Amino acid sequence: MIIAPNSVVKLHYSVQDKDNNTIDSTFDEAPLEVIIGTGYLIPGLENALQGKKAGDTFSITVEPEEGYGERHDELTQAVPKSMFEGMEIEIGMQFRATTDEGDQVVVIIGIEEDDVIVDGNHPLSGITLAFDVEVVDVREATAEELAHGHVHSEGGCGHDH
């Protein structure tokens, strides 16, 4: 079967940054299973999968605009340290912040005397990504999977809908 929208794809991938640092890989663990067209994958990878079939392997470079987007300096800001009162905070911690655009994940990137510097950019924004991909299996998504928006493995999806 050829990968197209509403296909369930089981794949292994490895992704590196421009300095060949591995960011993530499934090759030593269970493959990732996704429904194509649900927005789970970044656009550059999802587009590259279209038309492939089980057994195919390929490499692709994904620029930020087809990955996690460009970085936006206005998403980095100083907030009063008092907002974290009673908490042991450190660089790298993630929090959910309520913004005018809704909830957003922010990462602490700096701690100063009275302020905490947070960054609302995705950690991989602005980064060109290099993927090595192996398509393990392709099948049609079931009606139930399409209704729920995610893959159901043998025995269901592990939660109530």
Based on the domain organization, do 133 and 108 belong to the same domain?
no
The count of structural domains within the chain is: 2
Contact 33, 9 (CB under 8 A): yes
Contact 153, 145 (CB under 8 A): no
User: Does 129 fall in a domain?
Assistant: yes
- Please report the beta strands in the chain, taking only residues with DSSP state E, as ranges in sequence order: 7-16, 22-25, 32-35, 57-62, 76-80, 94-99, 102-111, 115-119, 129-140
* pLDDT tens profile 97-140: 887 777 888 999 999 999 999 999 998 999 999 999 999 999 99
pTM above threshold 0.85? no
Furthest C-alpha separation in the chain: 58
Strands 57-62 and 129-140: antiparallel
Based on the domain organization, do 64 and 106 belong to the same domain?
no
User: Does 41 fall in a domain?
Assistant: yes
- For the chain, which ranges sit under pLDDT 50? 155-156
pLDDT in the model for residue 152:
86
Question: Distance between CA atoms of 94 and 109, rounded to whole angstroms?
Answer: 10
User: Does 144 fall in a domain?
Assistant: yes
User: Does 89 fall in a domain?
Assistant: yes
CATH at 64: 3.10.50.40
Based on the domain organization, do 64 and 11 belong to the same domain?
yes
User: Does 155 fall in a domain?
Assistant: no
